[in-house]
Structure 1
Amino acid sequence: MGGFNRSVILEAVRRSGQGLSRTELVEATGLSAQTVTNITRRLLDERFIEEAGRTVQGPGKPRTMLRLNPTSRVSIGVHLDPAIVTFVLLDLTGAVIARVARRMPADEPRRIIAAMADEIEQLIVAEGIDRSAITGIGVAAPGPLDAEHGTVVDPPKLHSWHRVPLRDALAEATGLRVILEKDTTAAAVAELWTGDHQPDSSFLLIYLGIGIGAALVIDGDVVRGASGNAGEIGHIIVDPDGPECACGQRGCVEVVCTPLAIIERAERAGVFADDRVGSDPESVDSRFTDLCDRAAAGDRGATEILEEAAGHLSVLISALTNMLDVDCVVLGGPFWTRVSSVDLSLLPQLLERQSATRAVRALPVRGAVIGDDVGAVGAGCVVLDEVLSPRAEALFLDSSHERMRGAERS
């Protein structure tokens, strides 16, 4: 209970932005004045929070404001994307202190993990970070993941990654605690931390990377699913007359909505020649950028391809939002910025036409606050979330503890 109350106070202080007095913390948390005093004293000693001056609020003596001490702890976020690996250093508020993006060598997992560890060490040294202040490393990776064992399990876009124990291997290489999270889930955590969402908000996040995924937030919590792999949407059909998918169906998200699928459609339409060296992530990234640059420059053929892609994406989103009835839709990920102008100009009207609740309410659509780096920032925020956010499960004793207490009583 003490640890839970500590998290409740830290969360209240973090969300307040400018800080709260002890009296305001009592009102905000429902804890007793003595509990608040005891916990805030310890948090001040540990430098998690700091005094932020005094303020006069009505009669009586001025109250001392308490706010989060952003530089007292840091986290490291890593986004393992098939095209590029992004590293960020976050302060205790989730703000980015430093960012580095690197193309990793080949696709051999051991070499990539070693290169990730080297990059993390260079980041720590370059920023002069005391290792004792690092709360941990969060890694966002494509699914599916084995959350219990911290392994990456055959992601479609990461070849050779067959049950790779990424969490433990990176922890051993860096000497730091590592949390492995699915990239779409991490993106949703980043949006919760950095976006202007109410504590009880709900939203659908569409993640646009080399692959496309989704994440769901209900009542302010990310829905991870039974195995931690919620959000696999690659085989939802958005175009029944579309290309055949490896799963045996036609027109799945995987073969219609991904950047590679959009590029191939542009090539078939003659927007540019099919002269790619291959379909590797780097080539897709470069080719997709070229397509978006052409559209931005007024190329009508390129624009029509992106508008058609927005139409397909609206079919996917409306299928999910009609079922889930969320407050809003958020889009982000490494490929988002390049298509944001086209998508934001078309998706609201397309979704309204397909909405089952359009007579009741509008469905806001917006880009993620973090944009392209939402995976890396989210990975770092997952670590901070464990440190700062209260979790109801912390109040429950596990079964072994219950059995032990039962034996003691008997």
Structure 2
Amino acid sequence: MGTSPIWGSRPKTRGLVLDVIRAVRASSRVELAAATGLTGATISEVVRELMADGLVIEAGRGGPTGGKPRTLVQLNPQARYSVGVQFERNTCVIVVVDLAGRQVARTSFRGLVKPPEQALALVASQVEALLATAGVDRDKVLGVGLVGYGPQDRRTGSLLTPQPTDEWLGYPVAPRLAEDLRLPVLLDNDAAAAAIGEYWLGAVDARSTYACIYMATGIGGGVVVAGQVYRGSSSNSVEIGHISVDIDGDECSCGNAGCLENYAGPSAVVRQALAMPGLAQRLALDPAGDDFLMEFARIAAAANAGDGEARGLVERSARYLGCAAVTLAGLFDVDTIVLAGPSFAVAGSIYQAVIQREVDRRTFARRAHPVRVVPSVNGADAAAIGGAALVLQSELVLGPPEESLRPALS
């Protein structure tokens, strides 16, 4: 089975230097020494290794400093690639990104409601076709970030949810996809992936603590501290969609009661709209439909266009999410909250304004520092791009994963 071209081949200093170069775009060796605390001799040696591997290239001269202009180095975007695969309930988005995290190819398709063996074979064929169409050298592909919803066992690369069908519960999706593609596959949560994608593309301060609220069909969350995803004990953390907002609420499929997702998620908004005959008729909502993303998009478009009833539903959802954002800020003392995912992509301006207002008014530490609510730089594909970024980070910056994670990655 295929492995990374540079798997386990560098010390931590190499990853540290590479991450600084990624964050600042272009840097001299003197600046790298100052940023990392490493000696000039060490920096020179590490940069030489990175250039020999093609990961870093020279980028001209820096500005005048009173002496000889310093030579700058930057990432070589074409040196390595990774693939991000995002599972939604019935859809799949696949992206290929370069070393800088920039998307170079994308495809999407429906039809994952089938046995996992058939669905993964379809995903593998689509990945192969996308790499071929993009003209990406397979030897430069570090691996695949497979991201989705629900509880997961990252150690075995298995899903712990019976969705989209019961056969998926406990199925080792990462090892099976790795066999089909002959590439390392890393399983992760879609919200955590979306969060780290912001970091890799330089949209947030590398030293900051920030949160991501991810909304597709469901609602998830992720927190990043100084470039590292907060994992918890089993990497099933920050599941804000399943915090109780009503202790007497209906039981959720997760086992909890009164979950946020059942009041603010797209499926909840669609159900609420269907209970308003005039609105449902105007928007031609299908009471028997199961494509909540499409139906929610109709409601969001109507809200953006000035439909009062539609806007009321979206703003109500946003107030609930504002409550979740305040909770995230209180628990993790974040300075930024990123809104990511396809549902925010269609109604982001309304959500951003309402959530920012709630955060400004209610956050515990509001007198100590502001909390910005911002849209994701990666839009609707934030999870897929983030999945690819997780592979880049894991392979190039963090070093080899824990021994217990290797079955899902090799």
Could you tell me the TM-score, scaled by structure 1's length?
0.89
| Structure 2, unpaired ranges of 5+ | 1-8, 405-410
Could you report, residue by residue, the CA deviation over 1:230-256 in whole angstroms, capped at 9, with x for unpaired residues? 122333222457555457765321321
Does residue 131 (structure 1) correspond to residue 141 (structure 2)? The answer is no
In the alignment, is the contact (CA less than 8 A) between 2:344 and 2:351 conserved in 1? Answer: no
C-alpha separation in 1, matches of 2:370 and 2:172: 44
Correspondent of 2:154 among 147, 156, 159: 147
C-alpha separation in 2, matches of 1:56 and 1:341: 40
State the partner residue of 2:366. Answer: 358
Q: CA deviation at 1:110?
A: 1.2
State the partner residue of 1:403. Answer: none
Correspondent of 1:276 among 281, 286, 291: 286
State the partner residue of 2:37. Answer: 30
Compared CA separation, residues 349 and 54, structure 1 to 2 (3 A): closer
Could you report, residue by residue, the CA deviation over 1:58-100 in whole angstroms, capped at 9, with x for unpaired residues? 3443332211111011111111111321111111010111111
C-alpha separation in 2, matches of 1:238 and 1:207: 18
Q: CA deviation at 1:312?
A: 1.6
Correspondent of 1:349 among 341, 351, 357: 357
C-alpha separation in 1, matches of 2:173 and 2:254: 28
Could you tell me the TM-score, scaled by structure 2's length?
0.89
Could you report, residue by residue, the CA deviation over 1:255-287 in whole angstroms, capped at 9, with x for unpaired residues? 21111111111111332159636353xx21221
Q: CA deviation at 1:195?
A: 4.3
C-alpha separation in 1, matches of 2:136 and 2:10: 30
State the partner residue of 2:245. Answer: 238
Counterpart secondary structure, 1:31: coil
Compared CA separation, residues 58 and 357, structure 1 to 2 (3 A): closer
Correspondent of 1:325 among 322, 333, 337: 333
Compared CA separation, residues 104 and 32, structure 1 to 2 (3 A): same
In the alignment, is the contact (CA less than 8 A) between 1:244 and 1:255 conserved in 2? Answer: no
Compared CA separation, residues 159 and 335, structure 1 to 2 (3 A): farther
Greater shift in the superposed pair: 238-247 or 71-80: 238-247
| Structure 1, unpaired ranges of 5+ | 399-410
Correspondent of 2:384 among 358, 364, 376: 376
Correspondent of 1:307 among 287, 307, 315: 315
Correspondent of 1:221 among 218, 222, 228: 228
Counterpart secondary structure, 1:214: strand
Aligned length: 393
Correspondent of 1:95 among 96, 99, 102: 102
AA aligned opposite 1:381:
A
In the alignment, is the contact (CA less than 8 A) between 1:195 and 1:369 conserved in 2? Answer: no
Q: CA deviation at 1:342?
A: 1.2
Larger Rg: 1
Counterpart secondary structure, 2:314: helix
C-alpha separation in 2, matches of 1:240 and 1:300: 30
- RMSD over aligned CA atoms reads 2.5
C-alpha separation in 1, matches of 2:346 and 2:10: 47
Q: CA deviation at 1:291?
A: 1.1
In the alignment, is the contact (CA less than 8 A) between 1:85 and 1:102 conserved in 2? Answer: yes
In the alignment, is the contact (CA less than 8 A) between 1:187 and 1:207 conserved in 2? Answer: yes
Could you report, residue by residue, the CA deviation over 1:114-139 in whole angstroms, capped at 9, with x for unpaired residues? 01000000011111111111111111
Correspondent of 1:66 among 70, 73, 76: 73
Q: CA deviation at 1:13?
A: 1.4
In the alignment, is the contact (CA less than 8 A) between 1:117 and 1:170 conserved in 2? Answer: yes
Could you report, residue by residue, the CA deviation over 1:40-66 in whole angstroms, capped at 9, with x for unpaired residues? 222111111111223453344333221
- Percent identity over paired residues: 33
Map of 1:3-42 to 2, 5 A cutoff? Answer: 3-17=11-25, 19-42=26-49
Correspondent of 1:386 among 382, 394, 409: 394
Compared CA separation, residues 220 and 255, structure 1 to 2 (3 A): same
Greater shift in the superposed pair: 197-206 or 157-166: 157-166
Q: CA deviation at 1:343?
A: 1.0
State the partner residue of 1:407. Answer: none
Counterpart secondary structure, 1:53: strand
Compared CA separation, residues 316 and 124, structure 1 to 2 (3 A): same
Compared CA separation, residues 315 and 240, structure 1 to 2 (3 A): farther
AA aligned opposite 1:63:
R
State the partner residue of 1:201. Answer: 208
